[in-house]
Amino acid sequence: MEGLPEPLLAEIIKRITSTSDLNSLSLVSKQLYSVDAEHRNAIHVGCRLNPTTEALASLFSRFPNLAKVVINYSGWTYSQGDQLNNQGLHVLLSHCPWLSDLTLSFCSYINDTGLGYISHCKTLRSLRLNYAPEITSVGLSLVAIRCRYLSVLHLVDCKAIASVEWLMYLGKHGSLEELVVKDCKGISQYDLLKFGPGWAKLKKFEFEINGKYWSSGPYDPAYVTGYPYSYDICCENLKDLRLAHIITDQEIGLRFLLGRCKALEILYLEYVIGLDESEMIALFKRCSNLKTISLRLMPLRCGIQFRTALTDDSLTVLALSCPMLQVVELTFTFCDDDWPTEIGFTQEGIVKLIQSCPIRSLVLNGASILNDEGMKGLSSSQFLETLELVDCQSIMDAGMNFIVQAPCLSSLTLRKCDKVTDVGMSALVRAQKLESLTIIGCRQISKEDVQWAAKTVKYSKEIESHDSLKAMNIILHANRRWSAMNSIYGC
């Protein structure tokens, strides 16, 4: 190794992605130690980071060409000592002249003073703040004004942000291409309208509200009852749109996005109350480049019945207008198995979509309408590689005999599919075609009968949540106000 030229050593080091492996390699020789330090452009540190000035200076001076730094204090406790503070952040920035990507997660000791230091980083292009309770709009304004090349901004659980002057400035003078706002209770969907001309440059946008998102919030000041209107905002470059836990009924708010997007490749809508099917159909007709769609729906009042907002009409247009669609997730929450009409889609509509588009990955969660006949329909898909079925109570052993015939299927996941037994698993064992099989919380399937059904098998009797714990808690809270919501918000 000592005789190898430095460019070759640098190329070898670039191909090693594990931080622990890099650290171990650098201890082999002084030359590797020096080459690694010179060429390492990213570092990820956690709770064990020594936040003293001397330790930070020693750490970051070793890597003069760092471009990406991730500091994550997730799981931190007071017994582990101090966290990185504003002064430590100043030390970091003073030793990383090429820093372009900074992520701070659960850094409770960072406030607007720290953001003031960050704002002097002229090369900064990406800033991600995850749980920064002391940061306010004052600090964000400094970053917005001084970091001229900022193109990615993530704000997650930043509860002290109240005003949006920083957003208005970025909209007029900035160059943001990716904006993520989650659990920032001081930022409403109507505040985001103040981003104005910035929407035209945006390529990815996420907005999510957790907690009591269904309760009364700020109203759109431009809304006048009885006078429909639209926002004069362009978002034709938006490729990735994710909206979760918002209400679009009465006021339009971020609903305007569904009427303006043309370049969408990824669409994620999670429990968005007030979806209008005619608007969704119009969206699908425009978005011929759509590749991924995730719809998480729950039944609301539609006339005299309760059902999810979208029907087979939406699936038909999706199948006809989006020939590049490859990834589909359909989740139905609070839909009673005894009332299949609570799901606006039918089994025939879902199967037709999968057969019409080159779907490679499909997730069906809570789809009680899907039975063994539907599995037979899915098995005729020429492209389906990955299938995940969650809480699909109408699927039985015969469905396994059908789905194993899907020509390209290599990965199958079953969660809480209680009517599938070891008999159904025997079809998978005989076929010997699966690369991976995951069985979780299926009471009639034993571990012994699935261990040879795929090259890689994961088995658990325990029920795991398909959604994140936070998301499920939100839905549980929402369920307690089920009656109140449905008396107000309908299809």
Q: What are the chain's domains?
A: 1-40 (1.20.1280)
In contact, 335 and 366? CB cutoff 8 Å? yes
pLDDT at residue 337, rounded to an integer = 85
Largest CA distance in the chain: 80
**Could you tell me the pTM of the whole model?**
0.87
Tell me how crowded residue 47 is: count the other CB atoms within 10 A of its CB: 15
In contact, 349 and 373? CB cutoff 8 Å? no
147: number of CA atoms within 13 Å, CB side?
29
Number of H helices, E strands in the chain: 17, 18
Tell me how crowded residue 221 is: count the other CB atoms within 10 A of its CB: 9
Amino acid at 183: D
- Ramachandran class of 241: left when φ > 0, alpha when ψ lies in -120 to 50, beta otherwise: beta
Look up residue 320 and give its two tokens: 């006809």
Q: In sequence order, which residues have a C-beta less than 8 Å from that of residue 224 and are 6 or more positions away?
A: none
pLDDT at residue 229, rounded to an integer = 61
Identify the helix (H) or strand (E) that includes residue 127.
Answer: strand 126-130
Mean pLDDT by 10 residues, the chain (491 residues): 69 70 67 67 87 90 90 90 93 95 96 97 97 96 97 96 94 96 91 92 94 61 66 89 85 80 96 90 95 96 86 97 98 90 96 97 97 97 97 96 96 96 95 96 94 94 57 40 45 62
pLDDT at residue 462, rounded to an integer = 82
CA distance 122 to 145: 11
pLDDT at residue 27, rounded to an integer = 65
Beta strand residue intervals within 231-356, DSSP E: 240-244, 266-270, 292-297, 300-302, 305-307, 327-332
Comparing CA positions, the residue from 5, 481, 474 lying closest to residue 246 is 474
Q: What is the DSSP letter of 199?
A: G
In contact, 89 and 114? CB cutoff 8 Å? yes
In contact, 292 and 266? CB cutoff 8 Å? yes
- Angle (CA) 243-246-248 rounded to 5° is 100
pLDDT at residue 119, rounded to an integer = 96
Tell me how crowded residue 263 is: count the other CB atoms within 10 A of its CB: 16
Identify the helix (H) or strand (E) that includes residue 361.
Answer: strand 361-365
Q: What is the DSSP letter of 342?
A: G
pLDDT at residue 41, rounded to an integer = 81
In contact, 423 and 445? CB cutoff 8 Å? no
Amino acid at 301: R
Using CB atoms within 10 Å of the CB of residue 457, give its burial: 0 to 12 exposed, 13 to 18 middle, 19+ buried. middle
Amino acid at 112: D
CA distance 168 to 144: 9
In contact, 420 and 393? CB cutoff 8 Å? no
